[in-house]
Structure formats: structure tokens, C-alpha cells
């Protein structure tokens, strides 16, 4: 692979910015300053450094973000800030997108990647990857919800939901809900279908990966290889 392509992909910067860095002698390969933008490197073996800092080669990036309220799950938005804008500079690169959206007012786990194939697998209802939410309600939860959700409810007249697992908690207004699909406003619409209303929503798990509770709101970190191997686990 050409060094300029490698740097621009790994750092999420343009080829012309990469060329300017080469001109400023900021890039080294195995300790030797790069002089030509078309130098060929082996991303798996060569040690490439920018400003003395080695770059760890990643074919794809997998990031866990603890989304705050008020931020949209999109790659671009004219009015509001997006989840991508919250990422620190070292995580930014071309092609990243949130795999599975949360509403603007929903908080918690957003999975951000540039691996389209994995995102597709994770989101396909066929794969039944669990998404777990902590839901705060306007009125106390009722025991009967458990069976209604487990049966697979119909929302808005004709939309059939897959069976979902509702777990009551010690707090009457708080339930945990595990879904296997991701319809538009699904949790809110399911709660409305039983005559209740969501006042706060937080996603805490996707597949076998739990939201890291050391991440403050708006913070992100890379998902480890070990965590990633559990993403498509069917059940926790
Ligand atoms: N269900 C919703 O209603 N909103 C979300 O953001 C996620 C699931």
C-alpha cells in the first residue's frame, strides 16, 4: 500500500494533508524519514510513525460511545452535533458511521465502525442480536407487561414486533428491555402500546458487549478484540 493512502486512511485526513506532512518530514517508516508519497509499505509489518508516534494499523475501527442526550446518530447534521463529532481526534477517520441509531434524546451505547459487513450482520433482525435498554417510565411498570412483550406485540396498528424480554427492577418506574431488532422509536412505541410513556431511555448492551460504565457521557473508547468476538453472541 502507498504510504500516503495508509496515513490518510488511518488518520482520517486528506491525501493532500498527508503529502504536506511528508514534505515536513514528519513521517517515518522503520525509523527512516519518508521522502516520497508513493513509497510502498506493508501495513502489517512496517512501523509507520507520525511525529515520532507509531500508528497501530487497523483495517477497521470499532468504537463504543456513551452517547449523551441532544446528539444525533448520523454522519452529518446541519443543525445538531453528531456522534462522530464527539470522537477524539485519534479515532476519526473516513467511513465511520453509527451502526444502529439511537434517538436524539436517547443515551448510552452507540457502536461506531467503518466495517459495513459486521454492522450489517449486527443489525439484521435475522441474527437476533440483543439490544438492552434501561427504560424509565412515566407511570409504574405493571407485571402484565412481561407477557405482553414476550408474546410479540403489535404497534401502531400493523407493525409486528419480535418477542421481547421485559425485566422489572426494584424501582417501579424503571424496567430493562431486551429487543432483537431495531424499529424506529421502537421502545417508545412499545411502551405507548401498553398505555405508558418513556421519560428516559439508555442503551446499555449490544449483543455480548456491555456499555463500559467507566465512560462518562460523551466519552468513547475502542472495543477490544475480545469484546468484539462476543458482539454476535445470541444471549448474555
Ligand atoms: N427505541 C426508541 O424508542 N428509541 C431509541 O433511541 C432506541 C430504541
Phi-psi region of 167 (alpha: psi -120 to 50; beta: other; left: phi over 0): beta
In angstroms, the CA 34 to CA 22 distance is 6
The question of whether 105 is a catalytic residue gets the answer no
Dump pLDDT digits (tens) for 157-197: 999 999 999 999 999 999 999 999 999 999 999 999 999 99
Q: Are residues 116 and 214 in the same domain?
A: yes
Dump pLDDT digits (tens) for 196-212: 999 999 999 999 999 99
Contact 102, 198 (CB under 8 A): no
Dump pLDDT digits (tens) for 134-165: 999 999 999 999 999 999 999 999 999 999 99
Query: Is 234 part of a structural domain of the chain?
Result: no
Q: Is the pTM for the entire model greater than 0.75?
A: yes
Contact 110, 85 (CB under 8 A): no
Percent of the chain at pLDDT > 70 equals: 99
How many of the other CB atoms lie within 10 Å of CB of 158? 6
Terminal Cα distance for the chain, rounded: 40
Segments forming the whole domain that contains residue 44: 3-54
Classify strands 198-206 and 107-113 as parallel, antiparallel or unpaired: parallel
Q: Are residues 178 and 202 in the same domain?
A: yes
List the residue whose alpha carbon is closest to atom 7 of ligand 1. Answer: 102
**Residue of 46, 77, 103, 212 marked active site:** 103
Q: Are residues 143 and 32 in the same domain?
A: no
In angstroms, the CA 230 to CA 206 distance is 10
Here the CATH number for the domain that contains residue 191 is 3.30.70.1560
Lining residues, ligand 1, CB within 6 Å:
102-103, 106, 185-188, 201
Residues 6+ apart with CB under 8 A from 102: 67, 73, 108, 110, 201, 203
Nearest atom of ligand 1 to the alpha carbon of 189? 3
pLDDT at residue 79 tops 90? no
Q: Are residues 86 and 180 in the same domain?
A: no
Amino acid at each position: 500500500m502507498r504510504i500516503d493512502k495508509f496515513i490518510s486512511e488511518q488518520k482520517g485526513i486528506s491525501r493532500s494533508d498527508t503529502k504536506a506532512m511528508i514534505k515536513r518530514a514528519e513521517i517515518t517508516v522503520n525509523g527512516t524519514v519518508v521522502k516520497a508519497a508513493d513509497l510502498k509499505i506493508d501495513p502489517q509489518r512496517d512501523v509507520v510513525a507520525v511525529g515520532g508516534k507509531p500508528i497501530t494499523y487497523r483495517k477497521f475501527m470499532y468504537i463504543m460511545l456513551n452517547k449523551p442526550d441532544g446528539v444525533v446518530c448520523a454522519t452529518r447534521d446541519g443543525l445538531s452535533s453528531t456522534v462522530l463529532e464527539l470522537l477524539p481526534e485519534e479515532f476519526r477517520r473516513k467511513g465511520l458511521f453509527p451502526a444502529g441509531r439511537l434517538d436524539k434524546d436517547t443515551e448510552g451505547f452507540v457502536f461506531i465502525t467503518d466495517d459495513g459487513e459486521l454492522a450489517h450482520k449486527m443489525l439484521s433482525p435475522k441474527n437476533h442480536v440483543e439490544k438492552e435498554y434501561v427504560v424509565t417510565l412515566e407511570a409504574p411498570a405493571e407485571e402484565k407487561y412481561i407477557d405482553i412483550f414476550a408474546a410479540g406485540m403489535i404497534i401502531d396498528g400493523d407493525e409486528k414486533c419480535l418477542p421481547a424480554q421485559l425485566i422489572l427492577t426494584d424501582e417501579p418506574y424503571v424496567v430493562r428491555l431486551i429487543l432483537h431488532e431495531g424499529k424506529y422509536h421502537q421502545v417508545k412505541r412499545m411502551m405507548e402500546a401498553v398505555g405508558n410513556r418513556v421519560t428516559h431511555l439508555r442503551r446499555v448492551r449490544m449483543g455480548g458487549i456491555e456499555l463500559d460504565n467507566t465512560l462518562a457521557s460523551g466519552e468513547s473508547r475502542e472495543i477490544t478484540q475480545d469484546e468484539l468476538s462476543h458482539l454476535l453472541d445470541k444471549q448474555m
